[in-house]
Amino acid sequence: MNRSISSVLIAVASIAILLIISMTSGMVLPHSAPQIKVITVEQAVKLTDKQKVSLFIDELMIPRQASCLKWILTKESHMNPKSKNPTSTAKGVGQLLDSTYKNIGLKHSADPMAQVVAAIAYISRHYGSGSACAAKAFWLQNSYY
């Protein structure tokens, strides 16, 4: 299968997973979807991982929550899906620990969109209402979320 088609399929699957998580965790998704940014496959293939992550988050969340999540992921990994903490098992854009992946019922993936979904799953379960912005407020006080 073509790599760009695989990326699109992974993104669609990630959105489906997020919707399932939101329905079971009480996370509130926007009532009306934000204006969808339309790009061609050729443009999407040329995006950096950071740009893909940012665009994906913008499409999943309301602007305020998206801004908070992108702030956290920038602090944690500069939105680098290959980021690895040398002193722990934390890795990926959300710097989730192996034990955190296990607790949320997911496995670490090299795919940046899957990593975003995992970070959102963790945040929604851990912080509940207010989700990403509550996690940001905690990060500001503790230097982790």
What is the domain partition of the chain in residue ranges?
3-142
Angle between helices 131-142 and 112-127 (to 10 degrees): 80
How do residues 15-53 score in pLDDT, each as one tens digit? 655 555 554 444 444 445 445 567 787 887 889 999 999
pLDDT band for 102, please (50, 70, 90 cuts).
very high
- pLDDT the model gives residue 119: 97
Distances (CA, A) of 43 to 22, 47, 50, 140: 30, 7, 14, 35
Contacting residues for 125 by C-beta, under 8 A, at least 6 apart:
25, 104
Reduced to 3 states, what is the DSSP secondary structure of residue 105? coil
Angle between helices 3-25 and 112-127 (to 10 degrees): 10
- pLDDT the model gives residue 23: 45
